[in-house]
Amino acid sequence: MASESGTATETRAPRMSRTPWYVIGAFIFIAVLGGVLMPTSSSKTTDAGARAVVVPTADASRTIVVPPCSPPATVTQSNVSAIPNVQGTTAVTLPQAPGARTAVVPRCTAGTPGSPSLPSALFVLRQGKLTTTKTSSSKGADPIAQGVLLQLVLPTGSPTRTIVVPRCTKQTKSKAGIATQLPNPPRGSTTVIAPPC
Write out the DSSP string of 134-165.
Answer: S---STT--GGGBS--EEEEPPTT-S--EEE-
The answer to the question of residue 19 being in a domain is: no
The answer to the question of residue 16 being in a domain is: no
Give the closest residue to 160 by CA, choosing from 86, 115, 94: 94
* DSSP assignment letter at 37: H
The answer to the question of residue 139 being in a domain is: yes
The answer to the question of residue 146 being in a domain is: yes
Amino acid at 29: F
3-state secondary structure of 85: helix
Amino acid at 146: Q
The answer to the question of residue 21 being in a domain is: no
3-state secondary structure of 179: strand
State the pLDDT at residue 196.
81
Our count of domains for the chain comes to 1
Q: Whole-angstrom Cα distance, residue 173 to residue 164?
A: 24
The answer to the question of residue 64 being in a domain is: yes
State the pLDDT at residue 26.
65
70 Cβ partners below 8 Å, 6+ apart? Answer: 88, 108, 111, 115, 116, 117, 118
What range defines the domain where residue 60 resides? Answer: 44-197
The answer to the question of residue 30 being in a domain is: no
Q: Whole-angstrom Cα distance, residue 48 to residue 68?
A: 19
The answer to the question of residue 84 being in a domain is: yes
Give the closest residue to 156 by CA, choosing from 91, 48, 60: 60
List the pLDDT tens digit at each of the 197 positions of the chain.
Answer: 544 545 555 555 556 566 666 667 666 766 655 554 444 433 344 445 688 999 999 999 999 999 998 887 889 889 999 999 988 999 999 999 999 999 999 888 755 555 566 888 899 998 888 787 777 655 666 777 777 888 999 999 999 999 999 877 666 665 567 889 999 999 999 999 998 87
